[in-house]
Structures are given as structure tokens and as C-alpha cells.
Structure 1
């Protein structure tokens, strides 16, 4: 990772506070990007570092023509581990969260297949439905988490870049926003827009290879079809403020609760080695 990345500026913080997302400068050089592209190949081939397994996985028949996502691959791939636990990434995330520190909540490696056609497919196998991350994370005592989405190639609408709804992080948690795997983007959009009662404006987040987009856990986002021949590859680091704790709730990510132990307690911090500290202003 480039070591000359400055701290989050006041202007950056104000933009993020108003819009719920922010785009970084280029953080990773060509060699690091190539390492992460090879990490993708190894992960989908079940070629793991060490004798362990990721947190869970979602890759139907491991079909390269389908959307593939895997969680906590930092456990089984050294290149991903080095990336998602980098202190610079933590420093940027902590600045946006206005926190004294940042820990890794978990990571994702996401593969969006290319169709190689300019024809629009409303139900493309690579579509990621509009959603809010926090609807899956209600076992936390704050919604002030931030996601860093790292592009491993130049990414725009031609290959299915992420789009965000600016300001939607101020709308609160919407019950219809759990549609990551719903490929019908227009139907999801209509449902969420109706529930929110707000005007809908979506903005594509275009990135150069090695850039990262950061978005708030309540920011509505999704992505459409990859028209390119090659797959769109990304590594995603979900970051939390240091000191975040468990909150009992009917809906939550059971796997993340399990990492606290068999009987998590209200107020128990997520501060063990499963949630590594990336950055602290006390260090």
C-alpha cells in the first residue's frame, strides 16, 4: 500500500457526512493489485494458505458465470490478510467514522462475472441488489461502520461498478433493504423508494484500479451488469470503530456473534483476535 496517503481532511469528512460515501486516492500499486487478482484465482480454486476455512461462502457450484462472494478470506489468504488489516486503511476508516481507532469487522472477496455483451440483462447473474449493510449487522451497538470497497481493475458502468444513493445513510434502517442477492434492481429500487418516501438519486462510483470507495453502513448501494469480457474483481473490508460492542437483536449475523463465544452478552466488545485492530490514535 502506498505510504504517502494523508489523513482524512475536514473536507473529506464533511463530504462523507453529507453523502454517506467517499472515494480515496489510489492506495495500492500494480504489484499489490496483481497479488490480489491471484488471490481471487486461488480462493475460487480452494487453494488456501494454512489449514483452515473462511467464515462462510456463497458460490453456487463455483460457477464462473455467476456472482461469487466469500466472507473472511483473510483467514485463508495471506494477500487478502495483508490488505484488509493494513493500518493505512484503518486510519482512513477511523477518520471517516470519527473514531480513535478502527477494527476489521470482516472482509469479502467478490467476483462479478462478465457477460461480454452490450445487451442489457435486467436479471443479470452479476447484479447485486440495492441494500444497506447494517440490515445484516444489527448485532452491533452502533450503525457507524464503514465499508472500504477496493477495485482490482478500472471500474465503471461498463463492468458493473457500485452505485450509491447519496444521503441515504440519513434515512435510517429500512426493512426492505436486505436485497443483496435480489437481481431485480428495478423492483428493489421501487420497494425501497416507496418505504423511504424520499427522492431517489443514484450515483455510479467509478474507480481506478487500486482505489477504494468508502460507504456508511446505512448508505443504500448496489451494482448492475458487467458487460465486459473479464470478471470484475474486488476485495472489501468492513471496518468498525474500536470499542463497538454486541447488541442483542432478533436479526443478526450469527457467524459474527459466534466469534464472541457460545453465549455473548449485551455490551461485550468485539475486541478479540477475530476482529483485529488496524489503527489506533493511542499507538
Structure 2
């Protein structure tokens, strides 16, 4: 497999890619934690970029400004801040997203030769949150991406600092990507993780929480059907992280209707160019750049 890897990787980076055993683990459990693959310098640059972003500085404006989550100062500062498509607006965050090691790991895990960006989210959690409202509820990413054809999409989570359980890390339910009947698992804003988890167990499922406790420079990956959320931030420090949502080579747009008969539309469709048949082009390089290619 090494011979097909993009030559942008150094020999040191090649040694950091997941092994076949790692890939088998990901396929069985729905998640993977990398070695330290990002330098402190890259992350510190991303922190500076996030601060510029929160101060209102933009290097590029988006073609639309509605239809996606976009925290603004008037929403309050002592709250969870969730901003999507940040790498399209900020050069430092784009530089992080475009690090070839990220796409190369994703390509191996998804067994694909090409990885494209789908979306990203900059998430800030305020410190000292005793009421638990900085928790993010259980959800499966693919439940929000019903107009994507692929069931092989994946997400990488990048904390900008050491991340233990006290600071509110991402947490996954082990093996949940293999559960059936989870297509409507969209509870991002439900802070009560225990109650939701009890509901899963009530349906006869075994739930095993795995917190993504990482050192600065490590990143985690999870399958698009892996149910995950994040714990409250009880620490004295802010929690700042970037989630990068990734497309495999086979992903395309498809029409999709809700159970109520309403045609579903996601923000990605509003951002990109159209194909000759009028469908959104999920390979538009301006919105969904290639992060890795072994071709």
C-alpha cells in the first residue's frame, strides 16, 4: 500500500499511517486514534486562525450565509460555539485541513484512493460548565447527510490541546456504526447523554462509551454511522477543536425525502456548483477540495 501513497508525505509520516490491523479495528469498532501526526506549530497556527475568526476576520466570504450552524457574538460568549465551513473562510484553518497526513490516514481507513472535504466545524466549549450544557448529544453524522450516496464517509476530530475527560472530549459508542435503524439519530443539541444512552440500551443494544482522550497532535477518526457526542467541559480551560468531515471517492449527490415527504437539502448543496443535470456537484474543487489522492 505504501507505494500508492501520495509523495507529499515524508518517510516519517509514512510510518504514522494506519496498518492493516488498524484498518480492521476501525472497520470493526467504527473509530481510530492516530499517533501524534500534527506538529505544535500547525496547531498553534490554527489557534491563531480561530481567534481571528471569532474576532470577525474573514479571508473569504461564503456564497450563502444561512442553512448551516454559524455562531455569532450576539449568541453569547459563555456558550458552545459551533461554526461550519470555517476552512473556506480562514487561511490558517484551511492550512490545517489540507495537511496531507489527515487525508492519507482517512484514505487508508476508508479504503479509497481519493479523499475530499465535505464540511468542517470549529467547536468551542467554555470552561467550568457545571450544568452539563456544553455536552453535545448523541448523533450519527450520516443522519445529517442523507443526500450523500456514500456510507463510507468519515470524520476526523482534532483537539487543539491535550484533551482528557474533564475538558469535554468527543466520545463514541463502540461498534454503533453496525447498528440498524439509526438513520434518524440526530440529537446534537440534546445535552442529556445518559437518558439518550438509556434509550439505546432499552432497544436491546449494548453501549460502550469510548472517550477520545488525546494528546496535542493526535487526531481521531470515526465512521459516518458511528454514534458519538461529547462530554461537558468541567475544566478551567476552554476546549477548542476542529471536526473535518470527509468524502471518499465514490460519494455523489442523491435526492432524498424525509418521512414527511419533504425534500431534504443540506448546506453543502447551496455552496457548490451544479452539474449539467442540475444536481449539486460534490466534487466541486472550490468547496470540496481534494485533501488526498493516490492517483
Q: Normalization by structure 1: what TM-score?
A: 0.89
Shift of 1:269: 5.3
Q: Is the 8 A contact 1:243 1:271 kept in 2?
A: no
Q: Is the 8 A contact 2:62 2:271 kept in 1?
A: no
Shift of 1:92: 0.7
Instruction: Determine the structure 2 residue equivalent to 1:93.
Output: 106
Segment drifting more, 247-256 vs 261-270: 261-270
Q: Is the 8 A contact 1:2 1:29 kept in 2?
A: no
C-alpha distance 205-43 of structure 1, shift in aligned 2 (>3 A): same
Instruction: Determine the structure 2 residue equivalent to 1:257.
Output: 269
Instruction: Determine the structure 1 residue equivalent to 2:158.
Output: 150
Segment drifting more, 259-268 vs 50-59: 259-268
Instruction: Determine the structure 2 residue equivalent to 1:30.
Output: 40
- RMSD (CA atoms): 2.4
C-alpha distance 254-46 of structure 1, shift in aligned 2 (>3 A): same
**2:253 aligned with 1:246:** yes
One of 39, 58, 76 as aligned partner of 2:70: 58
**2:161 aligned with 1:166:** no
For the residue of structure 1 that corresponds to 2:21, the secondary structure is helix
Q: Is the 8 A contact 1:54 1:72 kept in 2?
A: no
State how 1:213-224 maps to structure 2 within 5 Å.
213-224=220-231
Segment drifting more, 245-254 vs 255-264: 255-264
The whole-number CA distance in structure 2 between the counterparts of 1:58 and 1:51 is 13
- CA deviation profile, 1:24-45 (whole Å, cap 9, x unmatched): 1112212222111122211111
The whole-number CA distance in structure 1 between the counterparts of 2:238 and 2:28 is 32
Instruction: Determine the structure 1 residue equivalent to 2:56.
Output: 46
One of 117, 123, 144 as aligned partner of 1:136: 144
- CA deviation profile, 1:243-274 (whole Å, cap 9, x unmatched): 31111112545211223446895987521121
Instruction: Determine the structure 1 residue equivalent to 2:218.
Output: 211
Deviating beyond 6 angstroms after TM superposition, the runs of 4 or more aligned structure 1 residues are none
For the residue of structure 1 that corresponds to 2:292, the secondary structure is strand
The whole-number CA distance in structure 1 between the counterparts of 2:50 and 2:79 is 15
For structure 2, the 5+ residue unaligned runs are 1-7, 259-263
For structure 1, the 5+ residue unaligned runs are none
**2:21 aligned with 1:14:** no
Paired residue total: 276
For the residue of structure 1 that corresponds to 2:152, the secondary structure is coil
For the residue of structure 2 that corresponds to 1:248, the secondary structure is coil
Segment drifting more, 268-277 vs 38-47: 268-277
Segment drifting more, 225-234 vs 173-182: 173-182
Shift of 1:198: 1.1
